[in-house]
């Protein structure tokens, strides 16, 4: 079997793709840190949590990165998405809403609202 033929595209991909952002989720600036996995996780679940609660939820990326460094396999060189999920499910990640609610999110274990 010629595997190169398997990957030939019949249609060209668009040069740009615009995604709906009804909750105005911001683009996070990771500055000089190698925590792109934290940011990818945060954006993914900010969309999910915002849709679930019907208001914007923002994940505390700094809290997540500190937990990755303290409890996980992260180093100053970065981490993997798999490890981010493990750390987040074990220790949770803080989030806030536009209306001021705070909570701890664990992907498999659920959401705990904080006072």
Per-residue pLDDT band for 100 (boundaries 50, 70, 90) equals very high
* Position 8 pLDDT exceeds 80: no
Q: Is residue 108 part of a domain?
A: yes
Q: Is residue 18 part of a domain?
A: no
Range of the domain at 92: 33-114
Q: Is residue 99 part of a domain?
A: yes
Q: Is residue 5 part of a domain?
A: no
Alpha helices by DSSP H, listed for 1-115, are 3-6, 36-53, 61-71, 81-91
Q: Is residue 15 part of a domain?
A: no
By CB atoms closer than 10 A (0-12, 13-18, 19+), residue 29 is exposed
Q: Is residue 25 part of a domain?
A: no
Global pTM reads 0.78
Number of domains into which the chain is organized? 1
Per-residue pLDDT band for 27 (boundaries 50, 70, 90) equals confident
């Amino acid at each position: 079997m010629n595997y190169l033929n398997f990957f030939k595209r019949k249609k060209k991909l668009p040069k740009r793709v615009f995604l709906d952002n009804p909750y105005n989720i911001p683009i996070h600036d990771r500055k000089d840190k190698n925590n792109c996995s934290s940011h990818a996780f945060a954006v993914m679940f900010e969309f999910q949590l915002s849709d679930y609660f019907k208001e914007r939820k923002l994940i505390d990326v700094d809290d997540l990165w500190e937990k990755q460094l303290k409890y996980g396999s992260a180093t100053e060189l970065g981490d993997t998405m798999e490890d981010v999920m493990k750390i987040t499910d074990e220790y949770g990640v803080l989030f806030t809403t536009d209306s001021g609610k705070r909570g701890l999110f664990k992907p498999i274990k659920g959401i705990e609202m904080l006072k």
